[in-house]
Amino acid sequence: MGRLLGGTRRIAAISVFLVGFLLAPGPRLAHAGSADAAGDAPAAESLDGPSGPSTVAKVVDAAVLRPLGALSVVAGVGFFIVSLPISIAAEQVGTAREVLIDVPYEDTFNHPLGAI
């Protein structure tokens, strides 16, 4: 019974990390005012007003997206450690680190508050 409960906790913990990782902001989100690859037009609409991000955007970013992003960084580190033997064998350690750790870290901690 104790062994089963330990496995259930492990599955629950992995599920929480996966949800955080999947819901965290990623490079797929375009910032307002940024141009697309051709440099022709703004990439996406956002909550930015004439004086910058709105209060709602800042609150959503601080209360929801940043904590989810922090969870995705922690989950990414875990997945990186688990996948390290495979990454070493495939000579893709740098790519794995970039995708699992660097991108979530940059999206979580290195963008202005409210830049959803």
Instruction: List, for residues 63-73, the tens digit of each pLDDT value.
Output: 999 999 999 99
pLDDT per position as a tens digit, 46-63: 555 567 888 999 999 999
Q: Measuring CA to CA, which residue among 61, 63, 82 is closest to residue 17? A: 82
pLDDT of residue 11 exceeding 90, the answer is no
Total structural domains within the chain = 1
Is the dihedral angle over the CA atoms 72, 78, 84, 86 positive or is it negative?
Answer: negative
Q: How far apart are CA 56 and CA 24, in angstroms?
A: 18
**Within a domain: 40:** yes
**Within a domain: 114:** no
**Within a domain: 18:** yes
Name the more confident of 96 and 9.
Answer: 96
